[in-house]
Amino acid sequence: MSMEKVASKQFETKTWPDIVDSDDSEVENEIDVDKLPPLEVGPNENRLQHTYCLWFSRKGTQRAATDYSKSLHVVGRCASVQQWWSLYSHLIRPTALKPYRELSLFKQGIKPMWEDPANSKGGQWLIRLRKNKIERAWENVCMAMLGEQFLVGDEICGIVLQTKYPEDSLSVWNRTATDMTSTTRIRDTLRRILNIPMTTAMEYKIHCDSLKYVSMSHSRSPLDNNESPNSKKDLWRATKS
């Protein structure tokens, strides 16, 4: 099967370039991901353990759940290694995205929102990266998730890349913030994949604490949804394993 044929099956948003270039955070999202039929995997394709959805969002000025959900657009899906590379090869590279855009790769059935039932009791490991490092990091962490390299069972929900200025950020979301064994293994796997020195601090943020903070500060911009207060609950300074 050619890459073009695979790509034609995977892309769900026909106006992908228009959505990326738009400065309107409420461009209509015409795709209901819950109603999409299962993806077919060809006999010569390497099936992934899960089907994944790739989302794009451009955040507005308010962070109400209903408003944020409107900014989410399903770009495409993949259920095999070949489908992922076909999808990935057609994407605009992170360094070409405008600031405050997000690419999120999540297991199908989980939306990249704090409020999603699969995410509501979880958290995220957050890494800030220079713009010349983000593309390779995004690719490597996505491949690690697709290849089940984190070895934490069903704990991984997805990965979010957020373009900012002057740095970008990459985060790995998991289901259970209180599962210290899994969160520590995710951290250590990220260090290995991205060659992060042991002396470099990494941040873990709990989604429910982020939601509480947003509810107390309606004027806060969603562009900084990874910038919750540095409380002991939602920030782990991990300088050693």
**pLDDT per position as a tens digit, 95-107:** 899 899 999 999 9
Q: Is the pLDDT of residue 133 over 70?
A: yes
Q: Report percent pLDDT > 90 for the chain.
A: 54
> Architecture of domain 3-224 in CATH?
2-Layer Sandwich (3.30)
Q: Where are the domains of the chain?
A: 3-224
**CA 142 to CA 8: how far, in whole Å?**
21
pLDDT tens per residue across span 37-59:
889 999 999 999 999 999 999 86
pLDDT per residue over 194-219, tens digit each? 999 888 888 999 998 766 656 555 54
Q: pTM of the predicted model, to two decimals? A: 0.80
SS3 content of the chain, % helix, strand, coil (to 5): 35, 20, 45
Contacts of 56 by beta carbon, 8 Å cutoff, 6+ apart: 13, 16, 19, 20, 72, 73, 75, 101, 102, 103, 104
Do 186 and 172 touch, CB atoms closer than 8 A? yes
Quote the pLDDT of residue 45.
96
Confidence (pLDDT) at 163: 93
